[in-house]
Structure 1
């Protein structure tokens, strides 16, 4: 009984191996055919605009914008007295203190 089971496994395995080999050969054949067909096709025209390697091609002009153009220095010329500034923003004292 064990010998019969092993014989069945060997038979099924060999069939599966043959089917796999046939599938791989078909895939290799389709790949080779696709490569042959695409290598015979003519080159297409560029999709957009002029050739980038052409030195005479028209290009858009570039503009320079400084990244720090709106900057203005805000350094104080003379420091204000700190006690007067502090008293202006301090909370009002509570009555009775």
Structure 2
């Protein structure tokens, strides 16, 4: 990727007659790499986890299928009766 961007900038400078002072993709990669070295300035939790009097957010329960309603039109019949209803009738001897 860096070789391609270098080739593009060289071609652009040859065609345009001007020189690029910064290689923008390389600068972006360096900035991204250095951003991982910056210490976090905000605290994640200000309360001591060992303090039993520390205030914490309430725990709420929200079921994942809360709006569910059954769409079954009727109670199912016993499976033996349903199976017998769809079974082919035996043929009479010829």
TM-score (ref. length: structure 2):
0.29
Report which structure shows greater RCO (CA 8 Å, sep ≥6): 2
TM-score (norm 1): 0.29
